[in-house]
A and B are shown apart, each in its own frame.
Chain A
Amino acid sequence: MIAKKVLLVGNFGVGKTSLIRRFVLNEFSEDYISTIGVRVSKKVVEYENETIKLMIWDVAGTSGNEKIPKAYFLGAHAAMFVFDVSREETYLTIDENLQMVKELSGLQNITIVGNKKDLLTQKELNKVIEQVSVNIDLITSAKENDNVEAAFMQLTAQTLN
């Protein structure tokens, strides 16, 4: 079995933890994330005839990132940047945030996910997609379990590139 470290980053309250909850059940207590700024979960997935052990590092909100140890980003094989489609402030500075994650992790490609699609109408969603300055890989809803598996599969694929 191959083990891979993947990161989940994004502003506070965008639903990173909810996405992980949907995807995995095997996780440490919620308290860690507020105490040391990260929480690790594990999920074993099958991808292209390969069994992959994903160690998912749920890194606390990237705004005010100076407080989060840079070491959390080291050694990652893939990363997912999550923003909240219903909150402009979570994607307005997406370029800047992505650049910072790339610099800290050394990763070139990052999966970009817009979460909480259940809070918007299709028309509003289209407007958000136009507004976001980078290509969004997937629009998800952790609440309605929409596209969550697909987002993590894309992240898994990224670990093998």
Chain B
Amino acid sequence: MKKTPVDNTKDNRFELLRELLLAEDREKFESLSKEVIFREKLAKNVSPLMDEKILDLREKFPEYFGDTITETIKVQIRDSQDEVVEALYPIMGKLVKKAIVSEITKLTESVNKTVKEKFSIQEILKRFFKGKKNDADVVLQEVFEPIIEEVFIIEKDSGLLSGSYSRGNIADKDMVSGMLTAIKSFAEDAFSKEGQDLEDIKFETFQLSIQNFKSIYIAIACSGVLNATFKEELSDRINNLAEIILRDRSYLSDEERLNTLIFQKLIEE
């Protein structure tokens, strides 16, 4: 079969026509392509920097904007106090109310129980014959019962611990005795006048009473409400204990024996 000759003139014309018709589109395509390539390149270079900056911003946000935000919040709160109070009041109010109700319930139960027990005819008669305590004292003492938590018998000068009693576990008793002696010496040196001794140290829920004798001092940590009657009784018991120890100094070199004596005279009685 004879081959049909190629019509080059026709092909070229078709190419030319295409060139003419698509020239504008091609330009747009090239420009868009350049822009995409440029953006990709830019993104490649800028991305790590951006990530670094974002991380830095995240980490140091309070440093960069803390003051501004605080100031803004302050201004906002100052300018819209009513709204803030309105928003917080129900939440705070509920929490406070809940806490108070819980504590009052506990107190009521405790007072009820004590009143029931202490105001029986038997108890009233007992108090009548015993005298001394008034009714409020009796109830208060029962509700906020004072408890001896710790007892330390310490050599006055050296601060060495001779004997002790502890309801719970406290830090190293030898070191507590040493530091207590140091603090006592410091306070006496700084504030007292001629031979006066430190007698009380108060914490929030604890009271440390110190009774000083010639060569020893007895420190007692109590929790609860320490009324006059309790203090008086405790003081008597401490004096009795000290008398026994000072009459028989061998107690001071026998810790176990002294601990038993402390328990008998201060806790058991």
| Interface set of A (CB-CB < 8 Å, partner B) | 3-5, 26-28, 32, 36-42, 53, 55, 57, 69-72, 74-77
Q: Contacts A38-B182, A39-B179 known; list 5 others, CB within 8 Å.
A: A28-B175, A37-B186, A42-B175, A69-B186, A71-B189
Cα separation A69 to B158 with both chains bound (whole Å)? 13
Total A-B Cβ pairs within 8 A: 65
Contact B189 A69 (CB under 8 A): yes
**B237 within 8 Å of A by Cβ?**
no
Contact A3 B186 (CB under 8 A): no
Q: For A37, what are the chain B residues with a Cβ–Cβ distance below 8 Å?
A: 186
Cα separation A76 to B185 with both chains bound (whole Å)? 14
**B172 within 8 Å of A by Cβ?**
yes
- 24 CB contacts below 8 A, A to B, read A4-B160, A32-B182, A36-B186, A40-B159, A40-B178, A40-B179, A41-B175, A42-B172, A42-B178, A53-B174, A55-B158, A55-B160, A55-B174, A55-B175, A57-B159, A69-B185, A69-B186, A69-B189, A71-B157, A71-B188, A71-B189, A74-B157, A75-B155, A75-B159
Cα separation A127 to B160 with both chains bound (whole Å)? 41
Contact B182 A76 (CB under 8 A): no
A115 → B minimal CB distance (Å): 23
Contact B175 A3 (CB under 8 A): no
Q: For A36, what are the chain B residues with a Cβ–Cβ distance below 8 Å?
A: 182-183, 186
- Describe B's contact surface by its main secondary structure: helix
Chain B residues touching A, range: 10 to 19
Q: For B190, what are the chain A residues with a Cβ–Cβ distance below 8 Å?
A: 69
B184-243 CB contacts (< 8 Å) to partner A: 185-186, 188-190
Q: Which A residue's beta carbon lies closest to that of B161?
A: A3
Contact A76 B183 (CB under 8 A): no
Q: Which of B158, B161, B188 contacts A75 (CB 8 A)?
A: B158
A54 → B minimal CB distance (Å): 10
The 5 A-B pairs at the shortest CB distance, nearest first, are namely A75-B157, A75-B158, A40-B178, A71-B185, A69-B189
Q: Which B residue's beta carbon lies closest to that of A41?
A: B175
